[in-house]
Structure 1
């Protein structure tokens, strides 16, 4: 499986998580849940969809601009970093929304600490793939 195919597959799974996050989002609105719960599900639903869209866009770039075999290792690193980033946020945003935890600090409840860890993994991997994309654009055929 090529890096772009790998990224499309995993972005589709991220999109599925995003769409499923719309179910508790709608329920929270209809049941007049707390503002924090509604906000958490809205963020999960919309942010994960954007993460999937970003994965599709990066897959297209990898398949066209960096299609040469010389970029295979770089493409694999980018695809894995984007996928890990998306899954980290799938974990942290849905867990945080379900438990009304924002995960902005490593202090607090055990669930809050898990949400924080997922957020930090997402941040580190997003910075990693952005650095790799920047490097690829500097050395690439553009």
Structure 2
């Protein structure tokens, strides 16, 4: 991840969840155990995540491009669904992930077509009268 961030001139926030984030922050990486997605994601330009339904929802709501790296359960399904609506490049399974594939997926996710599609879907979702 660190190398891909460098190569794409990006910074990142790693949310470890249950994995515990006991690492020192660097100039380009911040490690946190958790933070509210509805607060953090609108401040981000992109989301790289496992593809669980809750994080998918939060990313769509924020209106930002995404990259999905599924590793279990329903994650491949949700990754394929957001790919089908045009807000992510094709998901990359965790066991197939490499720096090159991550750099390529980040570049595709930052493309104008995916960015605009993510913004439109986010606007539509935020305009709905329902709960998140």
TM-score (norm 1): 0.28
Q: Which has the higher contact order (CA 8 A, sep 6+)?
A: 1
Rg: which structure is higher? 1
Hey, which of these two has a bigger chunk of strand by percent?
2
Hey, which of these two has a bigger chunk of helix by percent?
1
